[in-house]
Amino acid sequence: MSASGEDDLIARYFRPLATDPGSLSLLDDAAILGGSADDLVVTTDAIVEGVHFLDIDPSDTVARKALRVNLSDLAAKGADPAGFLLTLALPKVDAAWLAAFAAALQQDAATYGCPLLGGDTVSSPGPKMISITAFGRVRKGAMVKRSGARAGDRVLVTGSIGDAALGLDILRRGKAATATASDKAAADFLVGRYRVPQPRSVLAAAVRDHASAAMDVSDGLAGDLAKLCAVSGKSAVIELAKVPLSEPARGVFAAGATSIEALVSGGDDYEILCTVAEAQWPAFAAAAAAQGVAVTDIGMIVAGKGPPVFRDATGAPVTLARTSYSHF
């Protein structure tokens, strides 16, 4: 876009979100994050129309998803949000789309205490793309890594798994759409889980205080756990029957319209997967309960370097044909 067109767009839609003095009201080349003894945790995730969100998704949910997938990373690292940068690639300037996008982003920035610090707006002949870099702060050395899992740690996951994959299936008129055709509330819940992640920011402190390793589940529980295990040099044994499913997901499963394999390899959960030593588990559970976030114990970290083993209700190992969601 033209330089003045970009300036106008920024002033109109995004300056109201730049509430932190370090943003310099988006009038400079750069933003300032003030010096601090705390470590700064930085993460960046981009979403592309037609790949990570659908062209029929409303722009307010696109905005929330773009920010929240990054807030989910910060929460899983035990970091409190400090601000974000927004890069927007747009094929054209659509005032209605932008107004709803910016309004939703402003709400989420306020809700999560994560003000807009800066960004870039570029024209692109391609699909809409939103790239966000988010900053969080933790006490020096306190960021929770993927690499700290120890044998004997419990494997915990927040919320419920597989909802977003079913929501996407509903939007694509797959089997889950048929299974929820007579239950609008269930379908709306699952679609909502796909469109608007719920970052577990309120658990950041509990993760920081109690988890030995953590990550957010974005590409499928099974594949993401495999990554955590690999970088920790450990393996895990997971009871598939313990994987937490929402009531709507149970309904779709009961109707034969999905499989446990699809649910644990589906993308876009944005829940926290973490490992917690046995001695820390009561304190972590209490902290999660105090915040009203469900946390479920799904298995245990074990010695060894193989991929995690998933067991069915009889204790027999289940071979998963795939463990992660692929965008192709």
Site for a copy of itself in 97-156 (CB under 8 A): 117-120, 122-127, 129, 131, 133, 135-136, 140, 143, 145-147
- Selected binder of a copy of itself within 11, 32, 95, 241 (CB under 8 A): 32
Q: By rule CB under 8 A, what count of residues binds a copy of itself?
A: 72
Stretch that binds a copy of itself, among 9-17, 54-62, 84-92, 300-308 (CB under 8 A): 84-92
Least Å distance between CB 112 and a copy of itself? Answer: 16
- Tell me the closest approach of the beta carbon of residue 245 to a copy of itself, in angstroms: 22
Q: What is the C-alpha to C-alpha distance for residues 238 and 224, in angstroms, rounded to an integer? A: 13
259 near a copy of itself, judged by CB under 8 A: no
Candidate list 33, 100, 151, 285; residue touching a copy of itself; CB under 8 A = 33
Residue that has been written with the tokens 């981009």 in this structure: 46
> Pick from 8, 21, 51, 286: which binds a copy of itself (CB under 8 A)?
51
Exactly one of 167, 220, 251, 299 binds a copy of itself (CB under 8 A); which one? 220
Q: Taking contact as CB under 8 A, which single stretch among the options 22-30, 54-62, 189-197, 298-306 is the one that binds a copy of itself?
A: 22-30
Report the distance separating Cα 242 and Cα 230, nearest Å.
Answer: 22
Among 64, 65, 77, 154, binds a copy of itself (CB under 8 A): 77
Question: Smallest gap, in angstroms, from Cβ of residue 315 to a copy of itself?
Answer: 28
Which parts of 125-246 fold into alpha helices (H)? 163-171, 175-179, 184-195, 204-210, 221-232
What gap in Å lies between CA 82 and CA 190, rounded to an integer? 30
Sheet containing 235-239, strands listed edge to edge, beginning at the edge strand earlier in sequence: 211-217, 271-276, 154-158, 295-302, 235-239, 309-311, 317-318
Taking CB under 8 A as the rule, does residue 3 contact a copy of itself? Answer: yes
- Residue 313, both tokens: 């209700």
The minimum distance between CB 297 and a copy of itself, in angstroms, equals 22
For residue 150, give the nearest of 278, 267, 239, 45 by alpha carbon: 278
Residue 115: name the closest of 178, 34, 229 by CA: 34
316 interacts with a copy of itself by CB under 8 A: no
Q: Which amino acid is at 31?
A: A
30 binds a copy of itself (CB under 8 A): yes
Cβ nearer to a copy of itself, comparing 259 with 326:
326
Between β-strands 309-311 and 235-239, what pairing exists: parallel, antiparallel or unpaired? Answer: parallel
Choices 29-37, 183-191, 195-203, 204-212; region in contact with a copy of itself by CB under 8 A:
29-37
> Nearest to residue 193, comparing CAs of 268, 253, 121?
268
CA distance 221 to 151: 19
Cβ atoms of 167 and 269 closer than 8 Å: no
Least distance to a copy of itself from the beta carbon of 41, Å?
A: 5
Q: Which of residues 150-189 bind a copy of itself (CB under 8 A)?
A: none
Q: Is 269 in the site for a copy of itself (CB under 8 A)?
A: no
- Does 47 contact a copy of itself by CB under 8 A? yes
In angstroms, what is the minimal distance from the CB of 53 to a copy of itself?
12
Q: Which of residues 224-253 bind a copy of itself (CB under 8 A)?
A: 227, 231
At residue 176's C-alpha, the angle toward residues 172 and 181, to 5°, is 95
**8 Å CB contact between 298 and 159:** no
Q: Which helix (H) or strand (E) holds 102?
A: helix 95-111
Shortest Å, Cβ 28 to a copy of itself: 5
Nearer to a copy of itself, 45 or 60 (CB): 45
By CB under 8 A, residue 36 contacts a copy of itself: yes
CA 286 vs. chain centroid, Å, equals: 23
